[in-house]
């Protein structure tokens, strides 16, 4: 529809109809057994809401959605279609590694390709908008949602946020917008704006306390990268920002997002987040919460009736100008128009295509690549890759489990996954397998899926399982041990105080180690864990995260050496829980501690090291790489001149296998008007080298990479000396210096 048509439509709509566009309903409202005002329906939606709503979330299936859309539009006074939105995070049916695993892949091209696969699959099933990417910076592994992020680094997160948006929507055209009408594209929604990843003590939905500088320099860049990539929508977060809930925070939404960044798309609240301002005690009731949210700039109310029940009276009372509502409605209508829904309200929904493209070979192949590149080898005492599969026993509760995808894979079926056992069998393994224990008898029955994860203790069963595994382990040359967190121990509402694995699994590891020292641990996890004992008892530790549909094939590719591990940690793995949050890009303190320094009064723990067990950017390979000294194309950049420096190294594969390595560039501002991180990732490149092969890798250093929020609150680079580090982990000391003059 042409823009004038949209304006005309807006003018013709009644106020109630307009407010309807700002109402998002849960999918359950459209299920046949939905009880409109039953006791469980705490949202109390009305008959009228169901006729006038603007969008719906979390329902899928081409046939079903077409039916819902058709019936809905027939009843709607202006026949305006709904937008079907859903949480498609790391895949729809073909599941890719969890985002944290994708971050470990350090390969944004794979993430973009994966996002395209997800968009093609889900759009065939009728979904038109994804609540993804999650661009929250995460530093505290107790927070269950770290699995939804790509980690602790602003630059890494920005690169991945951009890759996801471009994968979902397509790249921006000359008009600055992606072509959402294109078949197989969906609108993206970057979330959770802003700073949700800083939930205090890692407890979900908890308070956030961030300085404006930390917010701007570290937490905001990834959301901004998504906006620059053309993301169509932004979701608010549940937390406070400077003691104002994000969903009522005009500084975040009007000043930063809209005015500074020029975002003109749709802002949607997180689930019930407008209403929750009453619980935050900044609004007396839902009406006041609606007032705060609309004034601060939230367009769509997800799943409460705060807008539907109150905007009309707020306008009548003159507290909210109708023009504010009109602006929000216009943005929603524009989004519908860009999706092409006024011409074709079903967009790509297609039952036939659903049958052919969901989980097709091509999609699975992409997921397999993404999974194998996401694995991080933390330890290897010469045991991997496996020269001889035959003498290996496969043990552990994940060995034949299809539940190897992450918490948000709500549309996936575990039957579609390739299990570790299946993957190894396909690679020719004929050995034996034993679970050894159930997944968990001690994980509490809370969180999104706690109850499903939990199995009652049964001594006879547990002993039988353990003995069966030990019998196998004794006879085997080596043991591939699959242990870790089940997906539902991570994700929303799954914060943990202990960074361990369930006790039954730990017992299994200890017992197996007593009879066979050759343990290769495959660690399934959605967060960094305390791996001290696990690493000590294993000859090799391969972090496989929650690898997705093709997990079994990808694991066999890496164990057998068909692929060398090339993942790097996107989040530091702490020494122990007491150390968190621990992250590489911390500030310098006034009493800096260097290991070995005998001084008492320095910033250190008395009983544990300062350094994490495994740092950001770390990951081993089956090959070896030599990285030359850093050579700089010059020693000076000139402020405001737009010139650049090249920092180059030569990387040589000195091992005997073809392998990939992630070359990482970090910058350090030696002295600045406000404290700066000790170093910051500003570039990386994943390269593949044959044995004996070498390649020059160059990074361009530009002035804007040196910018930060200075003591005058302006973002800019300051003159002075800088250090550039290039290596294969955040701990590299391979460096050179330059000046910004």
Smallest distance, Å, CB 191 to ligand NOJ?
Answer: 6
The CA distances from residue 660 to 56, 373, 452, in Å, are: 43, 9, 38
Distances (CA, A) of 664 to 328, 445, 645, 657: 42, 41, 16, 21
Whether residue 293 contacts residue 254, with contact meaning beta carbons closer than 8 Å, is answered with: no
Residue 133 or 615 having the CB closest to ligand NOJ:
133
Q: How far is the CB of 142 from ligand NOJ (least distance, A)?
A: 17
Beta carbon of residue 107, minimum distance to ligand NOJ (angstroms, whole number):
24
492 touching ligand NOJ, by CB under 6 A: yes
Q: Is 270 a catalytic residue?
A: yes
Contacts of 200 (CB under 8 A, 6+ apart): 206, 207, 208, 209
Q: Which candidate, 117, 60, 114, 63, places its Cα nearest to that of 85?
A: 60
Site mask for ligand NOJ (CB under 6 A), range 313-352, x = bound:
----------------------------------------
Nearer to ligand NOJ, 106 or 238 (CB): 238
Helices (H), 254-376: 276-279, 286-296, 306-316, 322-338, 351-357, 361-374
Residue 55's closest CA among 443, 332, 287? Answer: 332
Contact predicate 298/327, CB 8 Å: no
Question: Residue 581, preceding bond cis, omega within 30 degrees?
Answer: yes
Give the 3-state secondary structure of residue 636: strand
DSSP 171-185: ---TTSS--TTSTT-
Give 669's Cβ-side CA count (13 Å radius): 26
Secondary structure element (H or E) that encloses residue 84, with its range? strand 83-86
Closest approach, Cβ 448 to ligand NOJ, in A, equals 10
Instruction: Provide the minimum distance between the beta carbon of 86 and ligand NOJ in the complex, in angstroms, as a whole number.
Output: 8
**Which positions from 247 through 276 interact with ligand NOJ, judged by CB under 6 A?**
270-271
| 450/561 with CB nearer ligand NOJ | 450
- Which residue, 131 or 584, is less far from ligand NOJ as judged by CB? 131
* Residue 28 in the binding site for ligand NOJ (CB under 6 A): no
Q: Which residues pair with 380 in a beta bridge?
A: 540
Nearer to ligand NOJ, 268 or 681 (CB): 268
Residues present in the chain in total? 741
Asked if 655 and 622 touch (Cβ cutoff 8 Å), the reply is yes
Residue closer to ligand NOJ, measured from CB, 130 or 375 = 130
**CB closer to ligand NOJ, 222 vs 376:** 222
Nearest-CB residue to ligand NOJ? 131
Instruction: Kindly state the smallest distance separating residue 628's Cβ from ligand NOJ, in Å.
Output: 44
In sequence order, the 6+-apart residues with CB closer than 8 A to the CB of 701 are 637, 644, 645, 646, 647, 667, 682, 724, 738
Burial class (CB within 10 angstroms; exposed 0-12, middle 13-18, buried 19+) of 731: middle
Q: Are 131 and 86 in contact (CB under 8 A)?
A: yes
Compute the least distance from the CB of residue 481 to ligand NOJ, in Å.
33
Q: How far is residue 226's CA from residue 723's CA, in Å, rounded to a whole number?
A: 29
Who's near 250: CB < 8 A, 6+ residues apart? Answer: 295, 296, 297
Strand, coil or helix: what is 490?
coil
Residues 44-83 that bind ligand NOJ (CB under 6 A): 57
CB of 57 to ligand NOJ, least distance (A): 6
Smaller CB distance to ligand NOJ: residue 191 or 331? Answer: 191
Within residues 172-231, the interface with ligand NOJ by CB under 6 A covers: 191
Residues 6+ apart with CB under 8 A from 607: none
Q: Tokens in use for 736?
A: 């050179």
Closest CB to ligand NOJ among residues 130, 443: 130
CB closer to ligand NOJ, 231 vs 519: 231
Write down the least CB distance from residue 272 to ligand NOJ, Å: 8
Smallest separation, CB 659 to ligand NOJ (Å): 36
**Which tokens hold the place of 165?**
């948006």
Helix (H/G/I), strand (E/B), else coil: 398 = coil
Q: Is 87 an interacting residue with respect to ligand NOJ (CB under 6 A)?
A: yes
SS (H, E, C) 678-708: CCEEEEEEEEEECCCCEEEEEEEEEHHHHCE
Would you tell me how many other CB atoms lie within 10 Å of the CB of residue 609? 14
Cβ at position 134, least distance to ligand NOJ in Å:
7
Nearer to ligand NOJ, 153 or 204 (CB): 204
Closer of 189 and 740 to ligand NOJ (Cβ) = 189
Q: Tokens 């994708």 label which residue? A: 102
Determine the size of the site formed for ligand NOJ (CB under 6 A): 7
Nearest approach, Cβ of 210 to ligand NOJ (angstroms)? 19
- For ligand NOJ, the closer of residues 87 and 550 by Cβ is 87
Angle, to 10 degrees, between the axis of helix 221-228 and the axis of helix 154-169?
30
Within 10 Å of residue 111's Cβ, how many Cβ atoms?
Answer: 29
Q: Strand pairing of 129-130 and 240-241? A: unpaired
Instruction: Provide the angle, in degrees to the nearest 10, between the axes of the packed helices 322-338 and 306-316.
Output: 140
Report the nearest approach of ligand NOJ to the CB of residue 145 (Å).
Answer: 8
Closest CA to 594 of 674, 678, 667, 677: 678
How, if at all, do strands 129-130 and 715-716 pair? unpaired
Catalytic residue among 270, 299, 462, 530: 270
Q: List the structure tokens of 43.
A: 């949202």
Say how many C-beta atoms besides its own lie within 10 A of residue 592's C-beta. Answer: 12
Three-state SS for 154? helix
d(CA 339, CA 24): 17
Give me the residues that bind ligand NOJ (CB under 6 A), please. Answer: 57, 87, 131, 191, 270-271, 492
Active site residues: 270
């Amino acid at each position: 529809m042409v823009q004038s048509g949209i304006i005309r439509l807006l003018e013709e709509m009644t106020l109630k109809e307009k407010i309807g566009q700002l109402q998002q309903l849960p999918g359950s409202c459209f299920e046949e057994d939905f009880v409109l005002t039953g006791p469980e329906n705490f949202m109390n939606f009305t008959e009228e809401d169901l006729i006038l709503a603007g969008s719906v979330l979390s329902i899928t299936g081409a046939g079903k959605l077409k039916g819902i859309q058709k019936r809905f539009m027939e009843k709607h006074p202006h026949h305006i279609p709904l937008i079907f939105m859903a949480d498609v995070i790391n895949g729809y049916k073909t599941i890719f590694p969890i985002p944290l695993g994708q971050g470990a892949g350090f390969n944004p091209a794979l993430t973009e390709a994966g996002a395209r696969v997800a968009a093609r699959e889900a759009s065939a099933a009728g979904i038109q908008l994804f609540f993804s990417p999650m661009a929250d910076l995460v530093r505290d592994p107790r927070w269950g949602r770290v699995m939804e992020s790509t980690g602790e680094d602003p630059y890494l997160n920005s690169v991945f946020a951009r890759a996801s948006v471009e994968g979902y929507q397509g790249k921006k055209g000359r008009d600055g917008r992606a072509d959402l009408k294109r078949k197989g594209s969906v609108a993206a929604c970057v979330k959770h704006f802003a700073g949700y990843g800083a939930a205090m003590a890692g407890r979900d939905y908890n308070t956030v306390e961030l300085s404006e500088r930390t917010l701007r320099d570290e937490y905001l860049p990834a959301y901004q990268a998504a906006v620059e990539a053309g993301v169509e929508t932004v979701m608010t977060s549940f937390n406070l920002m400077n003691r104002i809930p994000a969903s009522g925070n005009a500084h975040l939404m009007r000043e930063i997002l809209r005015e500074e960044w020029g975002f003109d798309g749709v802002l949607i609240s997180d689930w019930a987040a407008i209403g929750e301002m009453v619980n935050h005690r900044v609004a007396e009731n839902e009406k006041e919460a609606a007032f705060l949210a609309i004034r601060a700039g939230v367009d769509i109310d997800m799943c409460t009736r705060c807008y539907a029940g109150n905007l009309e009276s707020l306008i009548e009372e003159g507290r909210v100008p109708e023009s504010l509502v009109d602006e929000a409605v216009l943005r929603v209508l524009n989004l519908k128009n860009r999706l092409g829904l006024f011409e074709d309200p079903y967009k790509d929904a297609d039952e036939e295509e659903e049958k052919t493209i969901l989980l097709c070979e091509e999609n699975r192949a992409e997921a397999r690549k993404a999974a194998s590149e996401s694995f991080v080898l933390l330890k290897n005492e010469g045991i991997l890759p496996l020269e001889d599969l035959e003498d290996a026993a496969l043990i552990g509760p994940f060995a034949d489990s299809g539940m190897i995808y992450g918490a948000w894979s709500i549309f996936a079926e575990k039957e579609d996954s390739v299990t570790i056992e299946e993957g190894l069998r396909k690679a020719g393994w004929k050995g034996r397998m034993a679970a050894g224990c159930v997944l968990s008898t001690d994980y509490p029955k809370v969180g999104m899926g706690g109850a499903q994860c939990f199995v009652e203790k049964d001594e006879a069963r547990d002993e039988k399982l353990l003995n069966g595994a030990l019998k196998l382990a004794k006879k085997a040359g080596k043991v591939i041990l699959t242990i870790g967190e089940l997906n539902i121990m991570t994700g929303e509402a799954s914060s943990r105080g202990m960074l361990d694995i369930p006790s039954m699994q730990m017992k299994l590891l200890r017992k197996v180690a007593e009879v066979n020292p050759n343990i290769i641990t495959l660690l399934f996890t959605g967060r960094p864990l305390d791996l001290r004992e696990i690493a000590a008892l294993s000859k090799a530790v391969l972090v496989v995260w929650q690898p997705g549909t093709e997990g079994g094939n990808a694991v066999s590719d890496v164990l057998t050496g068909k692929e060398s591990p090339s993942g790097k940690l996107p989040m530091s793995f702490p020494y122990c829980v007491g150390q968190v949050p621990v992250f590489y890009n911390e500030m310098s303190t006034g009493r800096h501690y260097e290991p070995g320094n005998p001084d008492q009064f320095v910033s250190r723990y008395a009983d544990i090291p300062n350094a994490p067990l495994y740092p950001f950017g770390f990951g081993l390979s089956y090959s070896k790489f030599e990285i030359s000294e850093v050579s700089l194309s010059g020693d000076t950049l000139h402020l405001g001149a737009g010139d650049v420096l090249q920092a180059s190294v030569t990387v040589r594969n000195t091992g005997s296998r073809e392998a990939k390595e992630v070359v990482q560039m970090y910058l350090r501002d030696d002295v600045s008007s406000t404290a700066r991180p000790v170093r910051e990732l500003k570039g990386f490149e994943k390269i593949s080298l044959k044995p004996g092969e070498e390649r020059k890798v160059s990074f361009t250093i530009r002035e804007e990479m040196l910018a930060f929020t200075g003591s005058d609150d302006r973002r800019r680079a300051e003159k002075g000396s800088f250090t550039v580090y290039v290596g294969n982990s955040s701990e590299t000391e391979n460096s050179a210096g330059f000046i910004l003059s």
